[in-house]
Amino acid sequence: MTDVPTWPRMGAEECDAAIEWIRSNRMTQLHGPDAVGAFEAALAAYHDVPHAVAVNSGTSAVHLSLAALGIGPGDEVVVPTYTFVASATPVVYQGATPVFVDVRESDYCLDPARVAEAVTPRTRAVVAVHLNGHPAAVTALREICDRHGLALVEDAAQAIGARYGDRSIGAFGVTTCLSFWQDKIITTAGEGGAILTADPGIAARLRQLRSHGETAVDAPRLYHHSILGYNYRLTAPQAAVGTVQVGRLADFVECRRRNAALLSEALSGIAAVRLPGVVGPAVPSWWKYTCVLDPEAGAPAPAEFTEALRRRGVPAQPRYPIPLHRQPVFAPYVDAGRAYPVAERLCARAFSLPVHPAIEERHIAFIADQVRAVAAGSGGR
């Protein structure tokens, strides 16, 4: 058996950067703002946006985006039903109503036609999730948002490094949310996030919301809190790790694109396994390589298929077994009259394979052999 490597891989530079800040005894952003400021500057430069605001998670990034936009009770926010729970929970934190919408078979992202149908006079924003590193149809979504006066929030937690045409993610939404959780494309040592924006007023509001709603955090502190805020700050050692990781980002994304292309080649021709596509001008950053099983070609359910793969040493996972409209936490918000055929199909059939930069060609050959063998052994062809 070939050992398929895990992700992330932290190098000496990341460790040294964190230790330097720990040794300095200036670990909070309040006493070590230069580390957080340097990380924000690196993120803003990479994305060619004027402002990046670092926070302690991708969930906090989505929450603060909605808070900064003033979304609250009585407002509706459109969210795909096929995504990670944290694309939608922040809507509920704000006392607003998540309106779940179906996705497209082609890219697993929001279907603009379904979004247009879901808009009501109460709709205030659309959360466009770039799932698995594949950008959502941002041009079409932006057009709908502009037509109805809605805010487009890009949830790019899984998609740092992705482009749509010649523009990086972050160029389309009023805010764009990033996550640096442990196995994301880059990490700030386990947890972390950031918000990108071109709007200086929103950037200022995000900074205030991030730190207890305090009017200014410069010394001497005034302890003056004009709005309801949170403690969503990133620490200095985490930010220092993040700055090193931003320096590696272009290489990481290139590796992921190469691995995805190699996997597509190695997995071609298995009738029971439909491979992920690239839609329109999207240039994905390939966080996960997500395939769809075809029961009509003899494939079993993803739980069974991925369990067989894991027994053979391939860390495959069912890719969101439960859509958000069937999660108990969102039961009060679900419109029983709305159908989600694509999301239901994906939840019943999709699984993901790793394509991260630690994977080499020999691992790809191994993974493809195992997928082929499991598909054949389970009756799939």
Ligand X SMILES: Cc1ncc(COP(=O)(O)O)c(C=O)c1O
Provide the minimum distance between the beta carbon of 312 and ligand X in the complex, in angstroms, as a whole number: 26
Provide the minimum distance between the beta carbon of 129 and ligand X in the complex, in angstroms, as a whole number: 5
Q: Pick the stretch among 56-64, 65-73, 239-247, 304-312 that binds ligand X (CB under 6 A).
A: 56-64
> Any residues with CB less than 8 A from the CB of 23 and at least 6 apart, and which?
none
> Looking at beta carbons only, is 168 or 176 nearer to ligand X?
176
Binding flag, residue 193, ligand X (CB under 6 A): yes
**At what angle are helices 361-377 and 236-266 packed, to 10 degrees?**
60
Which tokens hold the place of 237? 């050692």
Binding flag, residue 83, ligand X (CB under 6 A): yes
> Looking at beta carbons only, is 79 or 202 nearer to ligand X?
79
Q: Pick the stretch among 71-79, 83-91, 293-301, 334-342 that binds ligand X (CB under 6 A).
A: 83-91
Contact assessment for residue 258 and residue 190, using Cβ atoms and an 8 Å cutoff? no
Strands 51-55 and 193-197: antiparallel
Site for ligand X in 198-227 (CB under 6 A): none
> Looking at beta carbons only, is 324 or 374 nearer to ligand X?
324
For residue 194, how many C-alpha atoms fall within 13 Å in the half-sphere facing its CB? Answer: 31
Strands 163-164 and 151-155: unpaired
Contact assessment for residue 165 and residue 155, using Cβ atoms and an 8 Å cutoff? no
Nearest to 83 by CA among 140, 7, 159: 159
Q: Please tell me the count of residues contacting ligand X according to CB under 6 A.
A: 15
For residue 170, how many C-alpha atoms fall within 13 Å in the half-sphere facing its CB? Answer: 26
Binding flag, residue 84, ligand X (CB under 6 A): yes
For residue 311, how many C-alpha atoms fall within 13 Å in the half-sphere facing its CB? Answer: 8
Binding flag, residue 58, ligand X (CB under 6 A): yes
- What is the torsional sign of CA 203, 13, 5, 273? positive
Q: Where do the H-state alpha helices sit in the chain?
A: 12-23, 33-47, 58-68, 89-93, 112-118, 138-148, 200-210, 236-266, 302-311, 341-349, 361-377
Binding flag, residue 93, ligand X (CB under 6 A): no
219 vs 47: CA distance, rounded Å: 31
Nearest to 86 by CA among 172, 193, 224, 199: 193
Provide the minimum distance between the beta carbon of 184 and ligand X in the complex, in angstroms, as a whole number: 7
Among 29, 57, 168, 187, binds ligand X (CB under 6 A): 57
Residue where the block lists tokens 């985006």? 65
Q: Pick the stretch among 11-19, 39-47, 97-105, 155-163 that binds ligand X (CB under 6 A).
A: 155-163
Task: Name the residue whose CB lies closest to ligand X.
Answer: 58
> Looking at beta carbons only, is 181 or 366 nearer to ligand X?
181
Binding flag, residue 155, ligand X (CB under 6 A): yes
Query: What track of x and - describes contact with ligand X for positions 17 through 36 (by CB under 6 A)?
Result: --------------------
> Looking at beta carbons only, is 131 or 316 nearer to ligand X?
131
Query: What track of x and - describes contact with ligand X for positions 349 through 368 (by CB under 6 A)?
Result: --------------------
Residue where the block lists tokens 């603009």? 112
Binding flag, residue 79, ligand X (CB under 6 A): no
Binding flag, residue 129, ligand X (CB under 6 A): yes
Neighbours of 144 (CB within 10 A): 21
Binding flag, residue 317, ligand X (CB under 6 A): no
> Looking at beta carbons only, is 87 or 317 nearer to ligand X?
87
Q: Pick the stretch among 51-59, 225-233, 250-258, 307-315 that binds ligand X (CB under 6 A).
A: 51-59
Binding flag, residue 157, ligand X (CB under 6 A): yes
Provide the minimum distance between the beta carbon of 86 and ligand X in the complex, in angstroms, as a whole number: 4
Binding site residues, ligand X, CB under 6 A = 57-59, 62, 83-84, 86-87, 129, 155, 157-158, 179, 181, 193
